[in-house]
Structures are given as structure tokens and as C-alpha cells.
Structure 1
Amino acid sequence: MSEIIEVSSDWLALREPEDARARSRRLALATARRLGSGPIVIHDLGSGTGSMMRWLAPLLPGPQTWVLHDWNADLVEHAAEGVVPLDHERRAVTVRTRTGELAQLGSDDLEDASLVTASALLDVLTAEEVRAVVQSCVDAGCPALFSLSVTGEVRLDPRDPRDDVFQAAFNEHQERRVGGRRLLGPSGVALAHGLFLEAGWNVRSAATFWRLGDHDPRLLEQWFDGWLEAALEQRADLQVEGAGYRALRWSQLRRGALSAVVVHTDLLAWP
């Protein structure tokens, strides 16, 4: 995972409110109905600073223990030292942390799991890593809830004829090879969906949306800059066109005239 992407705690904090608005509450409540009475243990994969825990814990029964898995020790330490969320019965959850690569995830790592969760993860894994995650969930025999996997679809308003070109370049960048690893990008959630079905599991999905606009201009600005920079990194031949495109979109941003919808998929699987 450390070869894929460096994610700052500042960026995770900036996006956390929009993540919370976007995630499927319907799938979260369906997850809660499959857990029964506590105590329950939730393993959160690629947990970052713990935003999934803070959003989901109040919707689930307790007592809860969250085990936060991430390759980045600084991020999980940040999560463990933060405000402890409360479960549905308003009891404080217990937090444990584990640091390691998800490629080495095995069934033993999830042997006590009542639920496995992840957020914004499947699109930054390889096919091998997604297979390892799905197999570990199947071996554990507990529900799995994956939120906010990108689909590659972005809708900018007002529309510009160049949007599709930069969207395609960004999606190519999401599927690039990094350190010998081929990332799945927008196809990650589809692979996980298919693997759970092959295992004979039930699967439900929901379209989920980041809706970015002048209610949070800093998030829109940082998202757009990252999106365009990735596209231009992938397609150097777009640099000249990208300069004009960036100038137009920045002008719209400053006037509060730009908005964007970033489409994701949430996935719930259970035996």
C-alpha cells in the first residue's frame, strides 16, 4: 500500500464531512440488522484516521471494538488518539490498531470479526489484493461493507466539451502501474462484487455521490486540482489544453459558479 499513495491527515479531515454525507445509510442500517446483539468486533481496512468508524459506529449495536488496519502507522495513531465515537446505545467504542500491508491480509487477521469495513479502498488496490481481501472476508464468514469506491464518473457543472477528455485521462491514471503493481481504479468495486457472488454470497450495492460546490469551496478546489493534476500526469500531451481548462475552472470556482458530482459505489456482502 505504501507504494500506491501518500494520504495526508489534513486531506482526510477535509473530506470527512462529505464522505459522511455521501455514504449509504441504507446499506449501513442493513448491515446493523445482520449483526445481532453485541459485543461485536469491526475490522476497518485501510482505515486512515478512522472516519469510517466515526460515521458507522453510532449506527451499529454495541459494545463495539474497532480494529483499524492501515499501512501508515501515523494515520492509525492519529485515529486512536482522536475522539472516541459512541455506539447506537451511546457507549464508547474500544479502538485497537494494526499496521501492515493489505496484500498480506489473511483469515487469521479477521478471525474474531463480526464485520469488515473499508472506505475509499477498493479502487487503490490491485486485483491480487482485492482477491485477498474478499477471501479473508469469506473465510471470516461475516458481513463486509465497502463504501465510496470510485466509478470513474464525474459530472462538472457547467459542462465543458473538454470534461470527457480529462475524465478519461484521470481514469487511466487510476489504473496505472506503480512499483510493479497494476492498480484497479474504477474496476475495483466490480471485481469485489463478482468475487463475492462467486463465493455464493449475497451482495447489495448503492450509488453514492460526493456533491461538491460553494458550500465547501476548499474541498472542491483541492479535489479539482488533484483530479486535473492526475489527468495531466497521465497525458503529458494535454498540458497546453489543461492550462486553459484550469484557468476557466478556477475562474468559475472563485465566483462560486462551479460544482461537481463524483460518483461512487457502496457495497454490502454477506454469507
Structure 2
Amino acid sequence: MRVAEAPRYASTWLDLREPADAAARATELVDLLRGRLADVPDPVILDLGCGTGSMARWLAPLLDGRQHWIMQDRDPDLLDVAAASMIGTGAAVTVETRRGDITKLTAADLDGVSLVTASALLDLLDAGDAARLAAACAESGTPALLTLSVTGRAELDPAEPLDGPLNSAFNAHLRHHVAGRTLLGPDAADALADAFRARGVTVHAAPSPWRLGPDRRELTAEWLRGWVTAASTRLGRDTGVEREIDDYLSRRLARAAAGDLTVTVHHTDLLALPTEVSR
């Protein structure tokens, strides 16, 4: 899950969350993916919205063998970081970067691509984007491994009465309208799975929750700040509500710092396996 808009693309936030992402992703889907790629020599992997390259750093060693990664993002600074960070991933791994927009992906863009990947990205899609992504993969016969899509559930232990209202408000924030589009937010994984299945694509889904505890105090604190800040935009900021939210955040941060708070942020991983087509 990403926090508020400001740190969404910041490399510091992406670096902080990378170990939790790696621990959460569903490796059983990679086992299925290996079977699909077993007869593909030197697969070409397109990483959509690659950020600093954490998905590639996690997946490349699990696939083994020669691979060529195309790192795609709209942020040129993140692309530079992603390319540099892949050095040392393996002698058989080569990398190129590409500026691009996931919402404009077509089947033609996947010519020569063996696999599409993305991580923590689908909440930024609207229904049309999801349909175009599914169509591009289905028409080209390109499998897709799409990880860490938020599901709209966050559980804090110990619980407090404000947890539920804040969770609902955060989900409303993720579904916000931008430039004439209504983002799917926590509905994205289900919407995309439906879009794939409507095109005859086999979809495997697996849970990939973040489990944040005393060993991830800094990440827990950053997630809390962003979660509460984003949710508060939907709850209103009159004096009474503002004070209640501020007190809540202070208590939660104190518990996190003391190692007395655990947070489970639920995500879903998808593996879409279209029927292979002749290229």
C-alpha cells in the first residue's frame, strides 16, 4: 500500500517499503510462472511503473537464467535509479529503460515481450485502464504478474474505535476522481481479474499481506502517517475531528515506536496466463 500523494513516488519511501514488499509477495505464483516461461529462451520482461526497480530485484533471481528487463516509468529520475540498481543482480540480466504510461499500453507494445510485471500500481487505474491492460495481454498472449494490489483492509492490533472509520475514509481517498477519471483503488485487483477472465484469460490470485511489527517500526510509522493523513481528507477537519485524529495518530505512533503495535495491510497478487499466440 502506498501512503499519501507526496511520498507515492519518492525513492526514500520506495526504499523503505522494499523489504516488506519482498516478504509479502506470493512466491507460489512465481512457481506457476516458471512453468509458463520454461520454454522461453532469454525472456523479455516489461516492468510497468518500475519505480526504483524493486520488483525486478525480487523476481530476477527467482526466475534464474538469461533475462532482459525493460524498466518503464514516467519518472526519469526513478528510471536512472532502477537501471543502476540492477547492476549485480546477475551477469545474465540485462536492462533498458523506457518512459511510458501504463494507461496507454496496447498489444503492439508487447511485441517481443515474454512477461508483464507491476507492483503496487493497480490502484492508480480506472476501469478503462484495467480493460486496456487486460486486452493488451490477452491479444498478445503475454502473461502478467501483478503484485501488491491493495484490497482495502488494514488491521491494527490493539484495535481502536477509529480504525474502521479511518480505513473506510482511506479507501474513499483511493477511489478519488482525477482528470475526469475515477480510480479503482482497492477494487483494482478484482476489476482487473474480471477483465482478464472476460477475455478468456486464466487468473490465479494469492494474498500478499504486509505484516508490520516491531521489526519494521520505521515503515509502520511512515505508513501510519500517510494512511491517517489521506483518510483525514475524507473525514473533514473541523476542530473536534482534527483533535481526535491527531490524538489517535500520536497514540499509534507511540505504540509503534515502543514495538507494541502490529499492522496487517492486505494485498492481492495476480498471475494472468493468456492463451499463447503465434508471434
Equivalent residue number for residue 94 of structure 1: 94
**Structure 1: how far apart are the matches of 2:114 and 2:64?**
11
Equivalent residue number for residue 193 of structure 1: 193
SS class of match (1:215): helix
Superimposed CA distance per residue, residues 36-70 of structure 1 (whole angstroms, 9 cap, x where no aligned partner): 23211011111111110000011114310011111
* CA 123–139 in structure 1, closer or farther in 2 if over 3 Å, else same: same
Equivalent residue number for residue 106 of structure 1: 106
Superimposed CA distance per residue, residues 54-106 of structure 1 (whole angstroms, 9 cap, x where no aligned partner): 000111143100111111111111101224354xxx54311111102222212
Q: State the TM-score, normalized to the length of structure 2.
A: 0.91
**Structure 1: how far apart are the matches of 2:108 and 2:216?**
42
> How far is 1:244 from its partner?
1.9
Equivalent residue number for residue 35 of structure 1: 37
Equivalent residue number for residue 21 of structure 1: 23
Name segments (4+ residues, structure 1) moved above 3 Å: 3-6
Matches within 5 A, 1:97-246: 97-237=97-237, 238-246=241-249
The structure 1 residue matched to 2:268, chosen from 258, 265, 269, is 265
The structure 2 residue matched to 1:77, chosen from 58, 61, 80, is 80
> How far is 1:120 from its partner?
0.5
* CA 246–19 in structure 1, closer or farther in 2 if over 3 Å, else same: same
> How far is 1:6 from its partner?
4.6
Q: How many residues align?
A: 266
**Structure 2: how far apart are the matches of 1:189 and 1:91?**
34
Moved more, 244-253 or 211-220: 244-253
* CA 4–254 in structure 1, closer or farther in 2 if over 3 Å, else same: closer
Moved more, 248-257 or 23-32: 248-257
5+ unaligned residues in a row in structure 2: which ranges?
275-279
Superimposed CA distance per residue, residues 180-226 of structure 1 (whole angstroms, 9 cap, x where no aligned partner): 22111000001110011111111110011101111021101001100
Equivalent residue number for residue 254 of structure 2: 251
Moved more, 128-137 or 157-166: 128-137
> How far is 1:4 from its partner?
10
SS class of match (2:209): strand
5+ unaligned residues in a row in structure 1: which ranges?
none
**Structure 2: how far apart are the matches of 1:165 and 1:158?**
16
Moved more, 12-21 or 127-136: 127-136
Equivalent residue number for residue 277 of structure 2: none
Q: Percent identity?
A: 43
> How far is 1:10 from its partner?
0.8
**Aligned partners of 2:224 and 2:249 also within 8 Å:** no
Equivalent residue number for residue 51 of structure 1: 54
**Structure 2: how far apart are the matches of 1:5 and 1:197?**
34
**Structure 2 letter corresponding to 1:49:** T
**Structure 1: how far apart are the matches of 2:136 and 2:200?**
15
**Aligned partners of 2:224 and 2:253 also within 8 Å:** no
**Structure 2: how far apart are the matches of 1:99 and 1:174?**
24
**Structure 1 letter corresponding to 2:68:** T
SS class of match (1:206): strand
> How far is 1:248 from its partner?
1.5
**Aligned partners of 1:58 and 1:85 also within 8 Å:** no
SS class of match (1:161): coil
**Structure 2 letter corresponding to 1:11:** W
> How far is 1:139 from its partner?
2.0
